[in-house]
Amino acid sequence: MTAARRLVSLLLAGSQLAAPAVAGAVTVGLADQKPASYADPRARALGLRYARLSVPYDAATSAPAQVEAWLSAVQGAGMAPHVAFEHLRTDDCPGAPCTLPSRGRYGAAVRAFVARFPQVRTYTTWNEANHQTQPTAAHPEAVAGYYDELRSACPACTIVAGDVLDSGSYTRWLRGFLAAASTTPQLWGLHDYGDVTYGTSSGVRDVLATVPGRLWIEETGALVSLRNQAGRQTLLVDESRVALAIDRAFALAKVNPRIARMYVYQWQAGPLDRFDSGLVRPDGTLRPSYTALVRDLAAARITAPVRWTAKWSKRALVLRATCRAADRACRGRVSVALRTRTTSHRLTRRSYRMSARHPTAALSVRVSTTLRRRARKPHLPRAPAARALAGAAGRPADADAPARTARLTPSARSACSEARRRRSAPCTSNLNPPPARPRRAPRRSAAKSSPHAAGARNASAEPSPPPRSSSSSPSSGPSTCRWRPVATRPCPPRRRRT
Q: 24-35: per-residue pLDDT in tens?
A: 468 999 999 999
- Candidates 452, 397, 438; CA nearest to 419 is 397
Q: In this predicted model, what pLDDT tens digit does every residue of 427-446 receive, in sequence order?
A: 443 444 455 555 565 555 44
How confident is the model at residue 329, as a pLDDT?
A: 73
- Among residues 213, 97, 221, 82, the alpha carbon closest in space to that of 154 is found at 82
Determine the pLDDT at residue 17: 34
Could you give the residue ranges of the DSSP H alpha helices within 100-139?
A: 103-116
Question: How far is it, in rounded angstroms, from Cα 432 to Cα 220?
Answer: 92
Task: Write down the pLDDT at residue 13.
Answer: 35
CA distance 175 to 185: 12
| Predicted pLDDT of residue 309 | 86
At 121 the pLDDT is: 96
Q: What is the pLDDT of residue 310?
A: 86
Q: Show the low-confidence residues of the chain (pLDDT under 50).
A: 1-24, 378-410, 424-433, 445-489
| pLDDT given at position 452 | 45
Contact between 214 and 188 (Cβ < 8 Å): yes
Would you state the pLDDT for residue 468? 47
Domains and CATH numbers, the chain: 1-20+305-405 (no CATH), 23-300 (3.20.20.80)
- So what's the pLDDT on residue 492? 57
* Closest-CA residue to 74 (of 110, 42, 54, 49): 49
